[in-house]
Amino acid sequence: MARWRFSLSLFLLATLGPWLALADHSFENTAIVRTVELGGALVHITTTYAVKALEDGSAVYTIALGDDEHEKTSWLEAKIKGQSAVLPLEKVGYDPKTDIHYYAVELSKALKANASTNLVVETVQTHATYPWPEEAGQKDGQSLKYETDLLVLSPYVTSVQRTKIRSPSPQVHSYTKPEGLEAFTLEDPVTKSGSTLTYGPYKNIPQSTTEDFVQERQQHVTIHYSCDYPVIEVTKLTRTAEISHWGANLNIQDNVHLHNGGPRLKGHFSRLEHQSSAYFGRQPPHIIPGLTLHLPAGIHDVYYYDLIGNVSTSHLRTAPSVPKGSQNNQFSVLELKPRYPILGGWNYSFTLGWDTPLGDSAGWDKESGKYVVGVPVMTTIPGTVVDVAEVKIILPEGATDLEFFPPFPAAMNELSTHVIYLDTIGRPTITLHYNQLTDQHAGVIYVSLLVTYKVPFSAHLKKPLAVATAFLGTFVLAFAWKRIDTRIQRQK
Amino acid sequence: MGGWDLMTRVWRLVVPATAYVNPASPGPTISPPSPVSFQTIMADYQSIQALHKAVPPFSPYIAVGLLPYIAFFLLVSTFGLAFYFSTLPKDTIPIREVAVASTASLLGGFGVVALFCSVGVYV
């Protein structure tokens, strides 16, 4: 579909945003299935819309998100079921009366009347769960609560919809049993099977984005479940990638501020109890004893230290370097063990860095005379949310014609100069600021921030000439000193 | 010409020189990036990614493995020439002193850069 038609559709949708509930009749939902995978810091939601076009040429489908859901969502992606191509998606409006946010999805091809397709929308929510009870003893378990809207909102009529909520463990302490749904179902509104709760099926739901429907029909459900792994949050991540042409090296350094988002420790911490539970393999689920990180292949000179100094409790298994651009499934595995186990509510800050050959990440394009470098945005800690991330790329001194291509938009971009060893004018630095990053953002094989730049040959000589100038200054001083008579008594 | 002025004149940047706030935030990251949300000119990520995979890997002008030996040779030469400089007589036209000092400085400049890279400070 031509890009201008999509833009025109978006323009129309944007201007008619508040009236979408009444105006848009080009689709009908034959079925909506929402699957919620509960976790600790992250909740993965997959919503499958079985849509049927009511008019010829229907190509833009509108998704509605409630305000609460929108606030927690940090990743939103739409695909056609069975296809890998990601569909263009754009925010088109917000209705302040219903607090609903609208997103338009451009289908890969327009549908004819009565044709149907399955649209899969994946979202990742952050900080959607909270510990309950809020405090727990060192030996106690960990339980979380998750709240969500019962019905999936849509500006289209829906024949049937259901929501499946999967808990990570079979222990579900309690869940909401909704009432007043006789208009949509005569059966039990919620059923439980093992660790899966199924809300629905609810049938014949009208356009649910109207003010009346949201106020009278929408309900809130809460699930209280047991979580058998710690809730890991990174409150701040600062990644610095420094490129050196002289050393053919790419140094990546992460400053990580880690937080355990589980229940706060009730009482005191007992080292004896901790050692005992570790020895017998009965580690409580809310304690973070260590982390296992998958770092790039080919790294060397890895360092790990915190505020006190070097932390020696780590184990690294490196993978050999792989050529740039080749398919690589190998990672270097680093097992970190902080100085102390991180209990609920506790924080730990550390610095982790490594060097890699620049040839594994950067290339030279002879045609344009530009270098192209790819820097991973972050290292994935599975199931972890990164609240604030700052990714800084320090380019060689004298780099020009900078262009950067992030895999997803940043909240803010900055350009600055970084001065370090042997620099004269300083190194150009690109800084990108991100919020609420998840493992989806990191990608399966480290989605990279791409930067292109030029470095003239003369720029490479800046450092040696700067040092040579300093040496020459010393020689000039020596030259002058030789010609000054510093004797106390002059010879007659 | 000051350093900051030189910086802005030398760089041809695609993005503005001041901090830029994405008008689409706050909100979820949308994959792929929204086509109309940015003021900066951004080429297709996939095409740059394909270029990144296709171009030959970076290769330095001087092999990194040779840098420790180059550093040793150059810095020993610098030391030797500096000693020789100290023994030179005071000429009226100091041609030899200038030549020796210049050569020693140049060798020292490259030697120090090679030394830094050899010890892990990749400048």
A137 occurs within a structural domain: yes
Are A189 and A279 found together in one domain?
Answer: no
Select from A263, A270, A256, A266 the least CA-distant residue to A338.
A256
Q: Does A86 have pLDDT greater than 60?
A: yes
Q: Which residues of A touch B33 (CB under 8 A)?
A: 406, 408-409
Query: Where residue A387 falls among pLDDT bands split at 50, 70, 90?
Result: very high
Residues 6+ apart with CB under 8 A from B47: none
Q: Which of B5, B7, B30, B86 to mutate to test the interface with A (most CBs of A within 10 A)?
A: B30
Amino acid at B84: Y
Is A419 within 8 Å of chain B by CB?
Answer: no
Q: Does A230 have pLDDT greater than 90?
A: yes
Contact (CB<8Å) A468/B94: no
Q: What is the spatial distance between Cα A53 and Cα A26, in angstroms, rounded to a whole number? A: 6
Q: Give the CA-trace dihedral at A176, A177, A178, A180, to 10 degrees.
A: -150
A278 occurs within a structural domain: yes
Q: Which of A108, A413, A425, A457 to mutate to test the interface with B (most CBs of B within 10 A)?
A: A413
Secondary structure (3-state) at B77: helix
Contact (CB<8Å) A414/B14: no
Amino acid at A474: T
Query: Where residue B5 falls among pLDDT bands split at 50, 70, 90?
Result: very low
Contact (CB<8Å) A452/B48: yes
A53 occurs within a structural domain: yes
Tell me what the pLDDT averaged over chain A comes to. 90
Are A25 and A172 found together in one domain?
Answer: yes
Q: Does A445 have pLDDT greater than 90?
A: no
- This prediction's pTM: 0.84
Query: Where residue A360 falls among pLDDT bands split at 50, 70, 90?
Result: very high
Q: Which residues of B touch A70 (CB under 8 A)?
A: 27-28
Q: Does A409 have pLDDT greater than 90?
A: no
Q: Does A73 have pLDDT greater than 90?
A: yes
Q: Which residues of B touch A467 (CB under 8 A)?
A: 108-109, 112-113
Is A204 within 8 Å of chain B by CB?
Answer: no
Q: Which residues of A touch B105 (CB under 8 A)?
A: 468-469, 471-472, 475
Query: Where residue A143 falls among pLDDT bands split at 50, 70, 90?
Result: very high
Q: Does B36 have pLDDT greater than 60?
A: no
| Location of structure tokens 């149907």 | A116
Is A52 within 8 Å of chain B by CB?
Answer: no
Q: Which B residues, 93 through 112, put their C-beta within 8 Å of a C-beta on chain A? A: 94, 97, 101-102, 104-106, 108-110, 112
Q: Does A15 have pLDDT greater than 80?
A: no
Using an 8 Å Cβ cutoff, are A238 and A392 in contact?
yes
Are A83 and A210 found together in one domain?
Answer: yes
Using an 8 Å Cβ cutoff, are A315 and A348 in contact?
no
Q: What is the pLDDT of residue A18?
A: 44
ipTM (interface predicted TM): 0.80
Q: Does A113 have pLDDT greater than 50?
A: yes
Q: What is the spatial distance between Cα A427 and Cα B60, in angstroms, rounded to a whole number? A: 18
Q: Does B2 have pLDDT greater than 80?
A: no
Q: Torsions phi, psi of B94, nearest 5?
A: -80, 65
Query: Where residue B31 falls among pLDDT bands split at 50, 70, 90?
Result: low
Q: What is the pLDDT of residue B9?
A: 34
Minimum Cα–Cα distance from B64: chain A residue: A247
Q: What is the spatial distance between Cα B84 and Cα B99, in angstroms, rounded to a whole number? A: 11
Are A46 and A177 found together in one domain?
Answer: yes
Q: Does B96 have pLDDT greater than 70?
A: yes
The pLDDT > 70 percentage for chain B reads 65
Contact (CB<8Å) A441/B113: no
Q: Give the CA-trace dihedral at B28, B31, B37, B41, to 10 degrees.
A: 140
Using an 8 Å Cβ cutoff, are A159 and A185 in contact?
no
Looking at the partner chain, which of B17, B24, B58 has a beta carbon nearest the beta carbon of A362?
B58
**A92, two tokens:** 């088109």
Q: Does B8 have pLDDT greater than 80?
A: no
Q: What is the pLDDT of residue B11?
A: 32
Q: Does A14 have pLDDT greater than 70?
A: no
Q: Does B18 have pLDDT greater than 90?
A: no
Report, as an integer, the average pLDDT of A255-272: 94
Q: Does A329 have pLDDT greater than 80?
A: no
Q: Which residues of A touch B84 (CB under 8 A)?
A: none
Q: What is the pLDDT of residue A448?
A: 83
Q: Which of A471, A472, A474, A486 to mutate to test the interface with B (most CBs of B within 10 A)?
A: A471
Tell me what the pLDDT averaged over chain B comes to. 75
Lowest mean pLDDT among A32-41, A142-151, A208-217, A316-325: A316-325
Contact (CB<8Å) B113/A463: yes
Contact (CB<8Å) A301/B38: no
Q: What is the pLDDT of residue A98?
A: 92
For B67-116, strand residue ranges (E) read none
Q: Which B residues, 20 through 59, put their C-beta within 8 Å of a C-beta on chain A? A: 20-22, 24-38, 40, 42-43, 45, 48-49, 51-59
Are A308 and A443 found together in one domain?
Answer: yes
Query: Where residue A486 falls among pLDDT bands split at 50, 70, 90?
Result: confident
Are A221 and A236 found together in one domain?
Answer: no
Report, as an integer, the average pLDDT of A408-414: 90
Domain containing residue A38: CATH number: 2.60.40
Select from A384, A344, A444 the least CA-distant residue to A39.
A384
Is A479 within 8 Å of chain B by CB?
Answer: yes
Is A417 within 8 Å of chain B by CB?
Answer: yes
Are A70 and A116 found together in one domain?
Answer: yes
* Pairwise pLDDT comparison (B18 vs A106), residue with the higher score: A106
Select from A412, A397, A411, A405 the least CA-distant residue to A374.
A405
Q: Which residues of A touch B46 (CB under 8 A)?
A: none
Q: Does A123 have pLDDT greater than 90?
A: yes
Report, as an integer, the average pLDDT of A204-219: 92
Range(s) of the domain holding residue A91 = 2-226
Q: Does B41 have pLDDT greater than 50?
A: no
* Pairwise pLDDT comparison (A249 vs A449), residue with the higher score: A249
Contact (CB<8Å) B109/A465: yes
Are A407 and A431 found together in one domain?
Answer: yes
Select from B42, B11, B24 the least CA-distant residue to A405.
B42
Whole-angstrom CA distances from B121 to A6, A373, B64 are: 51, 20, 13
Are A162 and A215 found together in one domain?
Answer: yes
Report, as an integer, the average pLDDT of A262-288: 91
- Number of domains within chain A: 2
Q: What is the spatial distance between Cα A130 and Cα A224, in angstroms, rounded to a whole number? A: 10
Are A128 and A254 found together in one domain?
Answer: no
Are A135 and A195 found together in one domain?
Answer: yes
Q: Residues A453, A430, A436, A91: is their CA dihedral positive or negative?
A: negative
Q: What is the pLDDT of residue A324?
A: 80
Q: What is the pLDDT of residue A20?
A: 45
Kindly report, residue by residue over B42-90, the tens digit of the pLDDT.
447 888 888 999 999 999 999 999 999 999 999 999 999 999 999 999 8
What letter does residue B57 receive in the DSSP assignment?
Answer: B
**A110, two tokens:** 């327009």
**CA distance, residue A157 to nearest chain B CA (Å):** 25
Q: Which residues of B touch A406 (CB under 8 A)?
A: 33, 45
Half-sphere exposure for A212 (CA within 13 Å, toward CB)? 4
**Strand ranges of the sheet holding A314-317, from the earlier edge strand across to the other edge:** A291-295, A332-336, A314-317
A439 occurs within a structural domain: yes
Query: Where residue A24 falls among pLDDT bands split at 50, 70, 90?
Result: low
Q: What is the pLDDT of residue A330?
A: 85
